[in-house]
Structure 1
Amino acid sequence: MLGETHDILHEFPNLEETINTLHDKDPQFASLMEEHDTLDSEIRNLEELNQPIDDFDMEEMKKTRALLKDQIYQYLRQNS
């Protein structure tokens, strides 16, 4: 859905405490989360502003976001 928020806190609201703790104490997790949320914001901005971008490039961005989300989820499972 266009413009839908996919940042990590919205994706995993039931893990908010774990996310905040890891973000504050684990630089690797914080970096993954920042990379994901920055990419999510960029995708949302492109969709909302209807910026010209090739469909292939947009799909690649969304695939990268999904891979980051999967990595973050695995990290959360290992640390909760």
Structure 2
Amino acid sequence: MQGENHALVFDFPEHRDRIHHLKQHDPAFQLDAHRYHQLDHHIRGLEMNQIPTSDDVFTAMKRQRAHLKDRLYEKLRTH
């Protein structure tokens, strides 16, 4: 769905406490979470404002967001 918020706490509500803990105590998680949030915000802005973007660039951004989300989820799952 276009413009959908993919914030970690929305996509992984069962890990809300872990997300908060890792953001406070794990610099690598904090950095990836920050990058993920910025990228998600940028993608949603493009979608909601219908800003023309090439399919290749848009697909690359979404792929990068998915990669970051996978890394963050793995950290949540194993912490």
* Deviation, structure 1 residue 7: 1.3
* Deviation, structure 1 residue 23: 0.4
TM-score by length of structure 2 reads 0.97
* Deviation, structure 1 residue 8: 1.0
* Deviation, structure 1 residue 63: 0.5
5+ long unaligned stretches in structure 1: none
* Deviation, structure 1 residue 71: 0.3
Question: What aligned pairs does 1:1-80 form with structure 2 within 5 A after superposition?
Answer: 1-79=1-79
Secondary structure at the aligned position of 1:24 is classed as helix
Secondary structure at the aligned position of 1:3 is classed as coil
Secondary structure at the aligned position of 1:20 is classed as helix
Secondary structure at the aligned position of 1:68 is classed as helix
* Deviation, structure 1 residue 73: 0.6
Q: Percent identity?
A: 37
5+ long unaligned stretches in structure 2: none
* Deviation, structure 1 residue 76: 0.7
Q: Give the partner amino acid of 1:2.
A: Q
Secondary structure at the aligned position of 2:2 is classed as coil
Q: Distance in 2 between matches of 1:16 and 1:30?
A: 14
Q: Give the partner amino acid of 2:9.
A: L
